[in-house]
Chain A
Amino acid sequence: MLKNTLIVLVIVVLFLPLLPLLVWSFSQGWFFPQFIPEQWTFQHWIQVFSPASRVMEGLVQSLAIALTTTMLSLLVGLPAGRAIGLMEFPGKAALKLFLLTPIIVSPLATLMGMQFVLIRLGLNGTLFAVVLVHLMPTIPYMTLVLASVFANFDMGYEIQARSLGASPLQVLSQVTLPLIAPGVVVGALFAFLISWNEFLLTFFVSAGRVFTLPMVLFTLLQGGNNGLTAAVAITSVVPGLLFLLLASNALQNETTLAGLGNV
């Protein structure tokens, strides 16, 4: 009983910051000390969907960047996760530490160096440059999650399938991938969320031309329009939340996350 009360209390506190967002997004001039707004409006939401506010443009760009980053991270993370999870080799501990660097070390200096190179290559301000910098934090997470799943993977299934006449491609698509699916889903969720949330990395290489949703929100936050800011904030929660719902089963699988607890 006490336990459930505590848990409910934690959940209420976790959701508390979302409450003023919801109210503000429908309110017209909500002055202190009014408990609820005097006037309600859909104006902020209409603005979110109007091209002038560039919110939808930001949403589409963010989505394109996050999905591309996730796919690329998966592509390189799969072989690396397999190597770390299933094989032993000299330098493995050092390699895991190396992979942690982009997650733990501040990216500021690196970004300044990359910006210097990207400007000279004429790539500054392109979607390509943004995807490139987003790969720095997403690849380590993807690799560590996949390595964790591969560590619990029994290669006997693959050997069995091969000996029964399956081609390497068939083994991959019909045996390996289905068995590691929870890791793929959780790794993709982390990669997507990191890229979707990223402000600083995008800021440094976007040159004001790539306008992701966090950039829109950051700009709005320094203005004074609470209603529109709240509406945009709620909008930028939706895709991540949908992805989380899709991945909720895989998140319950402890082998997908145990790797992050053992770096």
Chain B
Amino acid sequence: MPFAERRWGLRHDGSGLLTHWRAYLLLLPVTGIIGLLFGGGLVMAFLQSIGAIGLLGSGQISLTAYQTALANPEFLRSLTLSVYIAIVATGLSTVFSIGLAILLRTAGRWASFACQVTLPIPHLVGIVGVLLLLSPSGLISRWLYMLGGIQSDQDFPLLVNDTANIGVLLHFLWKEIPFMTLILLAVLRGINPAYEMQARALGASPWQCFWHVTLPMMKSGIFSSSLIVFGYIFASFEVPFLLGSTRPRTLPVLIYRAFTDSDLTRRPEAIALGIILSALSMLIVVAYSWLVSRNYQSMSRV
């Protein structure tokens, strides 16, 4: 497709403005629904958090809920834990997914299909599986007992509801690696192999070829998929709630607990925490797009 046609939207009838109107019209249902539901929900939550509306809202605007939320000593610990889990799980998933995608690229279809089979398994099912596999009386503990590695279930290291959140991290790796690999494999298959063949023909080692040729071409795929995975893990509730440490708790678990507290006066605080969490996630998206645009600028300078 000629670049100029795509770039300037000259494909239909040549009239730029008319084409734009058509594009915006086609996008209206999607932007309308997302804006109304997601944006509207956020606005209503914000209005509740400052006391403008709501159960206990006196109509008097105040920032008390935010003060209470930020003064809660658990807030910082929860935030740290959430960031730790999201960074470690996303980082490890990214590295393993790049490796797996490279492996699967030249393997048969059976292999990529087998790696996709666990993709539709719900998170809650994975949680049950991880619990029954890794808990002190789980399957692996039984195997170790049979092999004589441990004398009782007390000897098995705590891997679920543990302070290091190993169970949470393992669950996310198990769930997100196939997802990221699927995307990266699609990216790899779209890459023209001629560049790599050329590099190899010119004497690059397999490692040099991977590092200087393949990886740079996968860059945007790696950025996008790790952003999606990071956002998902940072916001995830069920996994840390059921597999994670009881203290400290991740930010979404802390918010859920405050919101479902029988003490209704904690609601504004829960909503304020929710708004803070949303603001933090949005910062991540903005930082990401800044990073990507800077990256493209440096590429075009070369």
Q: Are A109 and B125 in contact (CB under 8 A)?
A: no
Residue of B whose beta carbon sits closest to that of A218 = B124
With an 8 A cutoff between CB atoms, is A178 at the interface?
no
Q: Which of B157-165, B192-200, B208-216, B275-283 contacts A (4 or more CB under 8 A)?
A: B275-283
Query: How big is the B interface, by class?
Result: 35 or more
Say what secondary structure dominates the interface of chain A: helix
With an 8 A cutoff between CB atoms, is A261 at the interface?
yes
- Contacts A110-B42, A221-B242; A33 near B142 (Cβ below 8 A): yes
Chain A residues contacting B43 (CB-CB under 8 Å) are: 113
Chain A residues contacting B138 (CB-CB under 8 Å) are: 20
Q: Are B235 and A107 in contact (CB under 8 A)?
A: yes
Of A79, A89, A112, which contacts B29 at CB under 8 A? A79
The complex places the Cα of A18 from the Cα of B175 at a distance, in Å, of 13
* Closest beta carbon of chain A to B25's beta carbon, Å: 8
Chain A residues contacting B83 (CB-CB under 8 Å) are: none
- Chain B CB count within 10 A is highest, among A11, A76, A108, for A108
A/B pair count, beta carbons within 8 Å:
316
Q: Are B259 and A254 in contact (CB under 8 A)?
A: no
With an 8 A cutoff between CB atoms, is A136 at the interface?
yes
* Closest beta carbon of chain A to B129's beta carbon, Å: 3
Q: Are A3 and B118 in contact (CB under 8 A)?
A: no
With an 8 A cutoff between CB atoms, is A104 at the interface?
yes
Q: Are B182 and A251 in contact (CB under 8 A)?
A: yes
The complex places the Cα of A226 from the Cα of B221 at a distance, in Å, of 40
With an 8 A cutoff between CB atoms, is A114 at the interface?
yes
Q: Are A221 and B124 in contact (CB under 8 A)?
A: yes
The complex places the Cα of A13 from the Cα of B100 at a distance, in Å, of 13
Q: Are B133 and A17 in contact (CB under 8 A)?
A: yes
Q: Are B282 and A230 in contact (CB under 8 A)?
A: no
With an 8 A cutoff between CB atoms, is A132 at the interface?
yes
With an 8 A cutoff between CB atoms, is A46 at the interface?
no
With an 8 A cutoff between CB atoms, is A181 at the interface?
no
Residue of A whose beta carbon sits closest to that of B259 = A112
The complex places the Cα of A76 from the Cα of B20 at a distance, in Å, of 18
20 CB-based A-B contacts, threshold 8 Å? A14-B118, A33-B145, A82-B26, A95-B27, A104-B228, A105-B231, A105-B282, A106-B277, A109-B41, A110-B41, A139-B30, A214-B124, A217-B122, A217-B125, A233-B124, A237-B122, A240-B122, A241-B121, A254-B190, A257-B186
